[in-house]
Amino acid sequence: MPELISHEPATGAELWRGSIGDADAEVAVARASWPEWAAKPVTFRIETLRRYANVVRAKADAFADLIARETGKPLWEAKTEVASVIAKVDISVAAYSERTGQRRMEADAGSRMALRHKPHGALAVLGPYNFPAHLPNGHIVPALIAGNAVIFKPSEKTPASGAMLIECLREAGVPDGCARLLIGGPSEGKALAAHPDIDGLLFTGSAHTGLALNRQFASHPEKILALEMGGNNPIIVWDTPDLYAAAVLVVQSAFTSAGQRCTAARRLIVDEALYQPLMTELGKIVDRLIVGAPHDNPAPFMGPVIDNDTADLLTESFLELMMRGGKPIRHLERPQPNLPFLHPGILDVTGMNDRPDIELFGPILQVVRALDFDEAIAEANNTRYGLSASLISQTPDLYNRFWANARAGIVNWNKPTNGASSGAPFGGIGWSGNHRPSAYYAADYCAYPVVSNEADSARASIGIGLRDYEVE
C-alpha cells in the first residue's frame, strides 16, 4: 500500500509515515454515520467537544512538539497553536448559540414561528500546512457541534499533525464515522472535493486552488463551499513619531511564522519622508532576528519555510523581483542550501513596472514609497486580494479614512496585519475568500436555517374567490 512520508523541515529527518487513504471509502463511512450524530441533542455534542478540548490539553506538550517538528515553526509558536485549538471549543459553543441557535419569532394568533438550524451532512475539510491543527480545527469543531460528519484531508506536508487532531477527537468520544482522516496528496484532495456524496467543502489554502474549487462548485449550488484563501496584504506607515515601534509591527506582520501566514504583510507602504529612517530601524531589527530550528536555545523568532522546494521558489521569486526593477534593501539569504532556512528579504519596488499581484508565501517584504495618503490607500487597494490591512499612524483622522476606503476583511490600526482573534469573524474579499468568513462566523456555514410556521391544529378558510354553493 502506498505511503505518505512527512519530514522535519529543520533537519530533513523522517518524522512520520502513513498509508494513503481512499476518498470513496471515507466519504461512505461519514455519510452512513452522520444521521445518528445529528440526532443527538446539541448538548451531547457540545459536551463531547469539551472532552476533546481536555484531551488536547492533556497532550498539549506532545502536540506542540509534533507541530513544531513537522512545520519547522518555533516551539513557542507551536504552543500558541495548541492553545488556540483548545480555546476554539468554547468559542464555537458561544458562536453556535448566538448565530445558529433556536428562537421564536412573531406570528399570527393561534400559531407560532420557529427558527432552527440543520446540519448539512458530510462535510469535507481541506487543511493547510502553516497551521496544521488550528486552521482545520476552526472548521471541524463548529461543523461537529452543528451535527455534521467531517472528512478531513490534511496537507500532504503536515499529515502527522492532522492525524493527531483526529485521534484526539475520537479519544474524546466523537464517533469514528464522524471524524474521518484522509491521508494523501493532491490527487486524494481532488477526489474528495469532487466526490458526489459530500454535502460541502470547507477549504483553507491558496487562491489558485480556491479559484479552481469555486469553478468546480459553480454547478453544484446545493453544496456549501467556504473558501479561506490568501492575501497580498498591505501595511502603511504614516505620520508616526515612534519609528522603532512601527518597525517592530512591520517585522511581526511580515516575518512571523517565516512569513507563512495568509495575513502576513507582503507590502509595506511608507510616506516618502519616513522612508529612510524607517528602513534604518527595520534593518536593525531584521539583523537581530534569530532564524533557527524549533527547539533551539535561545528560541528563534522564526524557523524554516516548509520545504526545500518552497525555499527554491521564494529565492527565484526574489531574484525575479530584482530583475523587474526591485532594489534589494536586505537580500533573501539561504545559509544552508540543503535546508529551507531563509533570512528575510526586503526590496524597494516603488519604480517597478507591472508588479506581480501574487502571494509570496514566505519572508519577503516589498516596500512602496508614497507621496501622499491618498496614493498610499490606492496602493494598499492595488490588489485582487482583500484579506488584511493595517495602518501605523498616530492620527485618528487618517485611520478613519483608511478604514472607510481599505478593501479588506480585517482592517487594523497600530497593530500587525496578523494575529486575528478566533472570537471574531475571519475572512476577506476579492481573491481572499467567497464571503463566508470563518472563526466566530464558521457557525454560519456549518448549518442552514429552517423557518417553521406552526400551529397545534389545522384551521383554514378561503374568504374570497369561491362560487356560492349551488342550491338544488
106 is catalytic: no
Beta partners for 297?
none
> Do the Cβ atoms of 197 and 31 come closer than 8 Å?
yes
The length of the chain, given as a count of residues: 472
Residue of 26, 81, 188, 228 with catalytic role = 228
DSSP character at residue 256: G
Beta partners for 4?
18
Strands of the 410-413 sheet, one edge to the other: 327-330, 345-348, 364-370, 265-271, 233-237, 388-392, 410-413
Residue of 77, 262, 281, 359 with catalytic role = 262
CA angle 43, 46, 49 (to 5 degrees): 155
> Do the Cβ atoms of 391 and 270 come closer than 8 Å?
no
Q: How far apart are CA 263 and CA 460, in angstroms?
A: 57
Question: Which three cell numbers mark 178?
Answer: 464522524
> Do the Cβ atoms of 394 and 239 come closer than 8 Å?
yes
> Do the Cβ atoms of 345 and 330 come closer than 8 Å?
yes
23 Cβ contact list (under 8 Å, min separation 6): 151, 182, 184, 188, 191, 192, 195
228 is catalytic: yes
Element (H, E) at 245: helix 243-255
Find, among 45, 43, 85, the residue nearest to 64 by Cα. Answer: 85
Q: First-to-last CA distance in the chain?
A: 84
Asked if residue 241 has a cis previous peptide bond (ω within 30° of 0), the answer is no
Q: Looking at the annotation, which residues are catalytic?
A: 228, 262
